[in-house]
Amino acid sequence: MLDGKKVLYSGMQATGNLTIGNYFGALQNWVTLNEEYECFYGVMDLHSLTVRQNPTEFRQRARSLYALYVAAGLDPKKNCIYYQSHVSGHAELSWILNCFTYMGELNRMTQFKDKSARHADNINAGLYTYPVLMAADILLYQSDVVPVGADQKQHLEITRDIAERFNGIYGDVFTVPEPYIGKTGARIMSLQDATKKMSKSDENPNASIYLLDDLDAVLRKFKRAVTDSDNEIRYAEEKPGISNLIDIYSAATGKTVAEIEKEFDGKGYGDFKMAVGEAVVDVLRPLQERYNELLKDKEYINSCIKENDEKAQYFANKTLRKVQKKVGLTEKIR
Ligand code: TYM
């Protein structure tokens, strides 16, 4: 709790370009949460180091992610939006929590298995302990809730296990966080293979819609999206392509599945794909306009970063000092 409000924490990696999966699964749901919660959102640049980055591009991407948060409607005066790497407590707490996490637990992480298969030439220790850094992010701010897409649920479970284990030994040090999964868009799938989640790192450019994609390209990609042969717009397990498009349309327009099925009753896939494309373009156009304006206003973004880095550092340090004391590290002589 902070100022009588529950604390909410989330963030995104500064790797690759954000997709509508990130937007509908996360960002879009975050925008109004600050009314109810004290919100912290990180640009997770330390996590991005688990994959080799080109330093210049990486810096630009982190900045772009910050601007996208703001362009999507997160007000930096009402939400603490900051760089993970600017708050040293993340790495410090992560080390301590590493010593309270079992290899058996980390071995079970499906994302580690997937990522090590994809980056077979660079299975580094950071990739393996990635969930511990994520636990540190969340626990540093005594977070009550963590809004994430379904793919991050396992990481949240391990965070809870680590927090409970630590509390079991040292008393109530950490708030044990709960997941917060948005109503729509919890899992947006690839447009080319609806059994795979839409990902920033997909090699097929037609599989993902990027937030900064050219808007004509967005329409084109939807036209090419895989469907099935029965030409009926109906939500069903055996129709993953169409169900995914219904999910996207629902996230973009706020309409329910039943309303969408009714709207497209008797219509063909061509019409439907066109409508989904246009609905997504209607979301992306204002977002891109705002983003382009923000990138020009360097001073404004810099002042937001500075102010929020300091705020995050203050809260993170409070928890870190408490943890250091509990585990018996000697206090600095001041
Ligand atoms: P990341 O950067 O992969 O994704 C950011 C957020 O977007 C959601 N997401 C999706 N939702 C629906 N459909 C999709 N296709 C899709 N793809 C991504 C993710 O669930 C996530 O909510 N490890 C995290 C970043 C992180 C973090 C944290 C999150 C680091 N520390 C602490 C919360 C709290 C990650 O890689 O997210």
In-domain check, residue 332: no
Most informative mutation of 152, 162, 183, 191 for ligand 1 (most atoms within 8 A of CB): 152
Residues 232, 235: Cα–Cα separation, whole Å: 9
Question: Ligand 1 centre from 152 Cα, in Å?
Answer: 6
DSSP character string of 314-331: HHHHHHHHHHHHHHTPPP
Asked if 171 and 305 sit in the same domain, the reply is yes
Asked if 304 and 288 sit in the same domain, the reply is no
Q: Is the CB of 27 within 6 Å of ligand 1?
A: no
Residues 123, 116: Cα–Cα separation, whole Å: 6
In-domain check, residue 191: no
In-domain check, residue 210: no
Asked if 82 and 163 sit in the same domain, the reply is yes
Q: Which of 44, 54, 143 is nearest to 91 (CA)?
A: 44
In-domain check, residue 189: no
Asked if 265 and 312 sit in the same domain, the reply is no
Asked if 261 and 286 sit in the same domain, the reply is yes
Q: Is the CB of 187 within 6 Å of ligand 1?
A: yes
Asked if 305 and 289 sit in the same domain, the reply is no
Residues 85, 83: Cα–Cα separation, whole Å: 5
Nearest atom in ligand 1 to 152's CA: 20
Residue nearest to atom 19 of ligand 1 (CA): 149
CATH of the domain at 42: 3.40.50.620
Q: Is the CB of 22 within 6 Å of ligand 1?
A: yes
In-domain check, residue 333: no
In-domain check, residue 196: no
Sheet with 178-180: list strands edge to edge.
Answer: 79-83, 37-44, 6-13, 145-147, 178-180
Asked if 52 and 10 sit in the same domain, the reply is yes
Q: What digits encode the pLDDT tens for the residues 186-231?
A: 689 999 999 999 998 888 999 999 999 999 999 999 999 999 988 8
Q: Is the CB of 134 within 6 Å of ligand 1?
A: yes
Q: Give the structural domain span for 73.
A: 6-181+298-327
Asked if 287 and 308 sit in the same domain, the reply is no
Asked if 175 and 45 sit in the same domain, the reply is yes
| DSSP run (H or E) holding 145 | strand 145-147
Question: Ligand 1 centre from 23 Cα, in Å?
Answer: 10
Q: Is the CB of 138 within 6 Å of ligand 1?
A: yes
Q: Is the CB of 137 within 6 Å of ligand 1?
A: yes
Nearest atom in ligand 1 to 47's CA: 30
Asked if 222 and 244 sit in the same domain, the reply is yes
In-domain check, residue 176: yes
Asked if 129 and 236 sit in the same domain, the reply is no
Residue nearest to atom 1 of ligand 1 (CA): 12
- Rounded to two decimals, what is the model's pTM? 0.94
Q: Structural domain tally of the chain?
A: 2
Asked if 171 and 244 sit in the same domain, the reply is no
In-domain check, residue 223: yes
Mean pLDDT of successive 10-residue segments in the chain (334 residues)? Answer: 91 91 90 94 97 95 96 97 98 98 96 89 95 98 91 94 98 95 74 94 93 98 94 94 96 95 96 98 98 95 97 97 97 86
Point out the residues that are catalytic: 115, 197, 200
CATH of the domain at 226: 1.10.240.10
Q: What digits encode the pLDDT tens for the residues 164-180?
A: 999 999 999 999 999 88
